[in-house]
Each structure stands twice: as structure tokens, then as C-alpha cells.
Amino acid sequence: MPSYAPQPMASSSQRRELPALLEVARPFLRGELEAVDPALPGLVAVLRSVGAGECWHKHGSFLDHLVEVYRILKIWSAPDAVARCGLFHSAYSNSYVNLVIFDPATTRDHVRALIGAPAERLVHLFCVVPRHSIIHEDLLFRYPSNAELAENLALSEASLREAIERGVTDPEEPWRRKIRSVLPPEGVTVRHIKTGEDVGVSRRVLAAFLLMTMADFSDQLFGFQDALFRNDDGRLEFSGNNWAALWPGNGKPGLWVNSISRMGAVYTLIVREEQIYLEERKRGGGDLPSSERDEDMDLPIPPVFEGCTRVLDAGEQIAARDMYWEAVCGGGGEGAEGLLRGCAERNPYVGEPRLVAAQVLL
């Protein structure tokens, strides 16, 4: 029999969190969509009726992708408007794909009647802003160092604690000045991708779009995109565009986890800065929510990467992927257990290697 050494126990917070996550996931596993949202079966039926299930998308149909993005967002406790935006995020096409769910003659009023005004507003914004440049050039790539992200996460945690427990804040802290320079409290103005007109986007809406991008990418990326974008270093910085890459590629797991973990870290910095900003404004007497800043929109922290406070090293990600691939392609023979354990140690944020290891340990 293969040897087995007990793994470190999950923290008490992780143990408390797991039952709640399973409770949210269970209706999806059972296909009980009405238990998630009474309107959800009808919304999926609408997507099916307009042919979303007939459009190819990465490793399945576009309908599959839309529902999966919605599922991830709901499990992450995203507000209904954000989750529905994920479900309809290409209603009007967007900066990534020229794929439109509805006939071009479909009006915003029609979509608004289907999913509600708050969700339709987000869908429209999501489809007209230059999402790639906002998420990557303007946010993620402004933090090129994992060490800087780790330091800012530690500093922001201490700052938030001081703000909540003692009412002490300092807007000139380096981490706060950095995140405000990247994404100021009043939000940003970007160019409409089709008309070139100015479009204002609040900081909280951009944070929601970052959250959606994490869900979007985590559902669809695999080894094919690594070849397509020449993601040789595992940081997914779109350093090339390999037109010769053939779908579906070699089927390897994608090197996207480092990028998503960095997105999660930036998202956490935004959320913490928002919390401190609101504490400061409350002490100044301005305690009413600002509609211009979308302060009624909740920004949940996803239960991934230890509450989006850890960044996976790109090199460790590559080593873990290669060990996993060697194990599963080697027929499960001698050495598979060690490879899978090594994979899980280097990338502890993906569960599949542990499930495969369970087969070896039977």
C-alpha cells in the first residue's frame, strides 16, 4: 500500500467556511437552479433560446461558460446584480470577444426587463469598457512584484484593523497612496470601445469587474491559451500572440493561477481601501451611501487563496503543473504519489491533484 502522512489541518475559519460553501454549491450540483434564484431557470432558458448553447467557447459551449461564471460568482457570495451580470456578460459583446448573445436589434430595455436594472447597467458597462487594458495594464500590471503585493497586503490588514478598532487612519500610507493612484475613490473615466465617448466607472464597479474577470478566466483557461499568448513564464501577461497555436492544444492545465491570485490580491487592496475610506468619511459626518460611487454594492472576498491574501509564485505554478502532468500521463505507477504530493505542496490552491492522489492511495 502507498504510504500516507496526515496533511496539516485546515484552520478553524476554513473549517467553519466549508459547510457554508457546500450549502451554496449543493443546488448547482443537484441542478436545482430555482433554489439559487427563482428566476434562474427562466434566464438560462432565454440564453438557450437565443442559441448560446450552439456557440463554441474554449472548452465547451458559450452557455456552459456563462452558467459556470454565474455559479462561481454565487459561490463567492457576489451580489445578485453582479452574478446576473456574469450570466449575461456578453449580451452586447465586449472587448474580449465579438460574440453577442442577442440580436443587435435587441434593446437595453428588453435586457433590463429580463435581469433587472442594476444587473443590466453592469452588463452594459462591462460590454463597453476596454476591460483588458483596465484589468491588466491599469490594475494588475501596476503591481509587477509578488513581494510588493505581499507587503501591501500585510500593511493594509494592519491599517484596516487600526481604522476599525481605534479609528486611526493615515491617507499617506504608501500602500494607500499606491492603490489610490491606480484606482482613485471617485473611479475612472475610460473610452467606450465602440463610440470613443467617455464612460465613467466607479471604483466599486471596477472592483466587481475584477472579481468577474477572476471567475471568467478561471472557468475557461487551459494549456491552449498558454500556447496562444506565449505564457511561458506563467504570469499570463499576454507577451505574445501565437496565431499558429492549434485548439485544443495538448490539454495541459493552464498556467493561470498565478494571475488570478494576483488579481485577488489587488481586489483585496481595493476592498480594504474602500472600507477605510468609508470609515474616514463616516467620522467626517458623511455617513450616507453615495450612489455615484455605488456604495450600495457589496464587495465580498472570494474564499480562494486564503481569502485573496496569498499570491502563488509563477515558478512554483509551472513546477506543480509539470509534476501533475507527469503523474497523470504516467499511468499512475510508481512515483505518482510523490509527484502529486509535490504538486499539491507547490500549488495548494487547486484541489484536483489531491483527488487524483486519493485514487493512488486507495
- What pLDDT digit, counting tens, does each position of 200-225 carry? 999 999 999 999 999 999 999 999 99
Question: Which residue ranges make up each domain of the chain?
Answer: 11-128, 129-221+256-312, 313-362
Please answer whether residues 134 and 125 qualify as being in contact, where contact means their C-beta atoms are separated by less than 8 angstroms.
no
Contact 347, 257 (CB under 8 A): yes
Look up residue 246 and give its amino acid. L
- For cell 452558467, the residue is 67
pLDDT tens, 83-125? 999 999 988 865 455 566 777 677 889 999 999 999 999 999 9
**pTM of the model as a whole:** 0.92
The C-alpha cell at 205 is: 464597479
Nearest residue to 207 via CA among 149, 144, 278, 134: 134
| E strand intervals along 134-195 | 188-191
pLDDT digits 0-9 by tens, 242-252 = 989 999 899 99
Q: What is the rounded CA–CA span in Å between residue 198 and residue 52?
A: 30
Nearest Cα residue to 90 out of 102, 75, 74, 108: 102
State the Cα–Cα distance between residues 274 and 277, nearest whole angstrom.
Answer: 5
pLDDT value, residue 284: 78
